[in-house]
Structure 1
Amino acid sequence: MHRGAAWISIAEYAVLAGISEQAARKRIRIALQTSTAPQVRELHGRGGRSGTRYEVLLSSLSEPLQRAFMASSEADDMCTTIAHVYGSPPTPAPFRPSMLENQDYAPEALEAYERIEPALQHPPRSAARRAAVATIAKQAKCSVRTIERKIKLFEDHGLSGLVRKKHADAHQRRVYVSKAFDRAYVEAGYDLSLLPKLSDELDLLIKSFWATRAADAGTPDICRGVAWELAKECRKHGIQGEGGACRDQG
């Protein structure tokens, strides 16, 4: 547990900032040379090959990062001390990648956070933040409003707010045979796992009909032939009364 002011390691800072340790060390070197945020201290003893290690003052980071650290599992044993030091209880924020609904999106969210992080170093509605947002927007070649919206999403929802939401069925086929067929099939209570198989069968039937002389008769005749053959396939599985199976292939 830290005593007095809370200091965190370079590794912890890298995780919070969503950057590599190498990038974190680069920022630390710049901060030491320019006396800019974050505030860094140099300690002698256990450390790298030089016997020196660096730590970052937690209170010199943006408020979202402070909340994220206090909410993390690594900070469980620090919560009481930090609450005493800063005069308020820690406020959980879903920042860590492990807190995302789907870790496949973590790199995307971390990249978005790294882009807006310079603006988060400044108080909301301050001139410094507005200037930082304008710089970020110019670098990203997007509007200021876009960056402001991302900052708002992060401040409201943490890192998970930066993940672009996708439908759970985004990569699934939405129409198997036809909308009318699918709806009647579902309402009749047939086995839903069979629908993809019927869809594959329909595709094969359509391709086979177009590959024969039946193609000379045109689309209406092919649709009738495909519907007839699909109806026979349905009857094999105990499915009755489903017509109009031909999908528009245009």
Structure 2
Amino acid sequence: MSQYPSASGQMAKTEVVNAFMRGVYGWMSGGLALTALVSYIVINSQALMQMFFVVDPATGTASMSTLVFILLFAELGIVFYLSARISTMNPATATGLFMLYSGLNGLTLTPILLAYTAESVASTFFISAGMFGAMSAYGLLTKKDLTSWGSLLFMGLIGIIIAMVVNMFMQSSAMAFAISVIGVIIFLGLTAYDTQKLKTMGENVPVGDTAAIRRGTILGALTLYLDFINLFLMLLRLMGDRR
């Protein structure tokens, strides 16, 4: 008879984790949808393009205005603020900041998306979604502890950032290719690592504390959103057909 409460408790815990992860994926999907919508609206609005970007009439390429650089710094500020303060933040505020970040990202990604054909952007997105889904499922279902991946992936991420800054001056196509390949590997690894970490968070979330659950799902959505967007951009640099 002692087995029944244990089985019932395990089932309840599984349901809590599943609900938590559904919330994470749901908000992440909402953020990606908003990013795509904002980019689509800006690209198809001549007035908005002229407001935020300097467009070369000969090539159709767009460069960022001073305002967009300011918005880029605002995005970084939102990410750091959310990550540092979310444990004490009002859940509605956390949700609003995440969606604001997603919308701003749609704006600042516009010149990158304009550099590639619409077909290659769409195909890369679906390939990214498939790879992301596979690695996230691995992180969710594997019994292997991925904690040891964390420090290695973080060092790799720092290395990529440094290499990208250096290549801004060197303009080496070979280095750019290597950065993109290594970047894909790192962000796939981060997807699995972060998913497992979020699963553990879901296992320890206080049952019945809706505010804590919402804050956790928003932090998780932001984490996986960043993994997906960076994976998409790395793949786009590798596979995208430039206009």
Query: What's the TM-score once normalised by structure 1's chain length?
Result: 0.18
Higher relative contact order (CA 8 A, sep 6+): 2
Q: State the structure with more CA Rg.
A: 1
Task: Identify the structure with the greater helix proportion.
Answer: 2
